[in-house]
């Protein structure tokens, strides 16, 4: 018991009887037992509390890692979306430029070679 032999327990009991007295010994034993019981209960509660805190810390770390992964995925999605939007906008701008050039070239009046010659003769006269 507690790493003590029977002889050691007997010596402690004899010393306790001498100092406390045989009439107060039962009350003292009850008080010592209550003390050890409350001490054990406190140690167990502290142990459970520490284990719970450690578990909460692990959960917190796990939640933080998930949050970082989610933030990274959201940022990647935003970058991909932004790049796609920019590419789409660039394509649209090029298409508009091409359309404007085509429209402007189509709307210019075309002069034939004959009209150019006539205009040159008209200027000489």
What pLDDT, in 10s, does the model give residues 39-69?
A: 999 999 999 999 888 888 888 888 888 888 8
Instruction: Look at residue 82 and tell me if it is in a domain.
Output: yes
pTM value > 0.85: no
Phi and psi torsions of 35, nearest 5°: -60, -50
Instruction: Look at residue 118 and tell me if it is in a domain.
Output: no
Instruction: Look at residue 59 and tell me if it is in a domain.
Output: yes
What pLDDT does 97 receive? 80
Instruction: Look at residue 57 and tell me if it is in a domain.
Output: yes
pLDDT in tens, 16-25: 888 888 888 8
Give me the number of domains the chain comprises: 1
The boundaries of the domain holding residue 82 are: 6-102
Task: Using pLDDT thresholds of 50, 70 and 90, give the confidence band for residue 35.
Answer: very high
């Amino acid at each position: 018991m507690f790493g003590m032999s029977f002889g050691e327990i007997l010596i402690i009991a004899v010393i306790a009887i001498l100092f406390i007295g045989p009439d107060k010994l039962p009350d003292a034993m009850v008080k010592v037992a209550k003390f050890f019981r409350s001490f054990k209960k406190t140690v167990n509660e502290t142990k459970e509390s520490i284990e719970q805190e450690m578990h909460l810390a692990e959960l917190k770390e796990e939640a933080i890692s998930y949050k970082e992964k989610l933030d990274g995925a959201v940022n990647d999605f935003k970058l991909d979306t932004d790049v796609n939007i920019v590419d789409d906008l660039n394509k649209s701008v090029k298409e508009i430029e091409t359309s404007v050039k085509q429209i402007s070239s189509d709307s210019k009046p075309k002069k034939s070679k004959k009209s150019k010659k006539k205009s040159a003769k008209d200027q000489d006269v």
